[in-house]
């Protein structure tokens, strides 16, 4: 259902929906503890809105896997001329086709609300993270704003971004450490570490 929804909206996603404020995207990418040389998984990359910022952070020695289950969203991302080491992967977060312990960081930018089972998705993300690797859930608009928009669209009406207490609980249950959730009026950033 979610997959069809995003495929239907892929054509006009960048013009009508995606974040257009480059400074907000740059700022958010800057808050993620990503280092040069890191191997990153961007889950729900969509049309690749955050990709150039992630590629800049990982530099020449690093790389990004851009994963999405909606092939038409991914096609839009692929058509962009990204500079750097990037691979595109059409797959579901519920079954990430990678071995255990391979990524330095996993980023979910504007995608976590749509995961059908957040507990299982977070466990799957944790599986592919290296020990000491970091998980980021980020949005460049506020939680209330996102949730209000979703509640008005029947296909995604139940796809809500958890508040700080719920998110902390989800991450704690998955046995992440160093959990921090910043739920601000105009942005949201949850981060956590897979214990070493």
Ligand X SMILES: C[S@@+](CC[C@H](N)C(=O)[O-])C[C@H]1O[C@@H](n2cnc3c(N)ncnc32)[C@H](O)[C@@H]1O
Asked if residue 115 binds ligand X (CB under 6 A), the reply is yes
Beta-carbon-side half-sphere exposure of residue 112 (alpha carbons within 13 Å): 29
Confirm if 48 and 109 have CB atoms less than 8 A apart: no
Asked if residue 71 binds ligand X (CB under 6 A), the reply is no
Residue from 53, 88, 103, 109 touching ligand X (CB under 6 A): that is: 109
Q: How far is CA 132 from CA 31, 88, 103, in A?
A: 17, 25, 10
Three-state DSSP class for residue 103? strand
Q: Which stretch binds ligand X (CB under 6 A): 41-49, 58-66, 124-132, 188-196?
A: 41-49
Structure tokens that stand for 160 in this block:
């809500």
Residue 131, phi then psi, degrees to nearest 5 = -65, 130
Helices marked H in 49-176 — which ranges? 51-58, 71-78, 118-128, 143-151, 164-173
Asked if residue 9 binds ligand X (CB under 6 A), the reply is no
Asked if residue 52 binds ligand X (CB under 6 A), the reply is no
How many residues make contact with ligand X (CB under 6 A)? Answer: 20
Asked if residue 188 binds ligand X (CB under 6 A), the reply is no
Q: Which stretch binds ligand X (CB under 6 A): 33-41, 68-76, 161-169, 178-186?
A: 68-76
Give the interface with ligand X as residue ranges (CB under 6 A). 2, 6, 18, 44-47, 49, 68-70, 73, 92-94, 109-111, 114-115
């Amino acid at each position: 259902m979610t997959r069809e929804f995003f495929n239907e909206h892929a054509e006009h996603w960048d013009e009508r929906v995606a974040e257009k404020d480059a400074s907000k995207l740059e700022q958010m990418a800057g808050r993620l503890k990503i280092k040069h040389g890191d191997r990153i998984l961007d889950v729900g990359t969509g049309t690749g809105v955050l990709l150039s910022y992630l590629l800049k952070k990982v530099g020449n020695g690093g790389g990004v896997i851009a994963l999405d289950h909606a092939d038409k969203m991914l096609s839009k991302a692929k058509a962009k001329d990204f500079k750097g080491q990037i691979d595109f992967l059409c797959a579901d977060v519920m079954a990430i086709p990678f071995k255990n312990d391979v990524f330095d960081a996993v980023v979910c930018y504007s995608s976590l609300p749509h995961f059908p089972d957040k507990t299982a998705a977070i466990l799957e993300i944790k599986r592919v993270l290296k020990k000491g690797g970091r998980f980021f859930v980020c949005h460049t608009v506020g939680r209330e704003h996102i949730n209000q928009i979703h509640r008005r669209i029947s296909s995604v009406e139940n796809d809500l971004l958890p508040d700080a207490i719920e998110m902390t609980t989800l991450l704690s249950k998955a046995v992440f450490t160093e959990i921090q959730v910043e739920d601000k009026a105009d942005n949201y950033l949850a981060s956590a570490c897979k214990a070493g």
